[in-house]
Structures are given as C-alpha cells and as structure tokens.
Amino acid sequence: MNELDKLSIGKRILQQRELLGYTREELAEKADITPRFCYDLELGQKGMSVNTLCKLKSALHINIDYLLFGEQKNLNDLDSIKTLIETCPPDKLSHLLDIITSYLKAVN
C-alpha cells in the first residue's frame, strides 16, 4: 500500500476550510484539535489518527475518500444536493435557499 500524501491531504484540508469560511481556530475547535496541529496538518507536516480523521471529515463536511485521496465517490443526486447544502457556508445558506426557490418557480 502506498504511503498517504500528507502534503496533498493538507492542501485539501486548507481548501475546504477556506471554502467553508472557517478560520484555522474555528476548524480546530470543531475538530477538537489545536490550531497549531491544524496548521501542521495543512502544511503536510503531521499525520493524524483515525479519530482525528473522522473529526475533520465531519467538521469539513467532506468524505474520507476525498480527504485522503482527492477522489469523490459517486453520489446519487439527493446525496449530491445534501452535500452541497452541508458544505455551504452558514452565512450563504439564505442565498442558496433563494436560488433553489427561484429555480423551482422558473421550472414549474
């Protein structure tokens, strides 16, 4: 089995954190890790336990396949919509609702 690419994993953590609009401190709090450890993970300087991996997966609203390997598993349409909603930054949820409502009105 190939060794996991910590640098690529770190880049995906950083990208998803920024996409969600979290500061490093906010992500650290959500994942129950220190901000310094979060920083080290993002730089690919540290590995993580399975427990930390699961906490980051939940905090970042991403699947483990993507976090570890950069691959999204195929999702059905409802799972895809759910994932989009879960990864939407909280301050943008009302915009997402407006877009969905407008779309549904336009197609009905």
How many C-beta atoms surround the C-beta of residue 54 within 10 A? 13
Supply the pLDDT for residue 107. 84
For the question of whether the overall pTM of this predicted structure is more than 0.85, the answer is no
Question: By C-alpha distance, which of 35, 65, 71, 70 is closest to 53?
Answer: 65
Q: At 55, which amino acid appears?
A: K
Task: Identify the CATH number of the domain defined by range 1-73.
Answer: 1.10.260.40
Could you tell me the sign of the dihedral formed by the alpha carbons of 67, 14, 35, 58, in that order?
A: negative
Supply the pLDDT for residue 52. 96
- List of E strands, 6-104: none
Supply the pLDDT for residue 16. 93
Contact 49, 64 (CB under 8 A): no
Along the 108 residues of the chain, how does pLDDT read in single tens digits?
Answer: 346 799 999 999 999 999 889 999 999 999 999 999 999 999 999 999 999 999 999 999 888 888 998 876 655 667 777 777 887 888 888 998 888 889 888 887
Show me where the domains of the chain are located: 1-73, 74-108
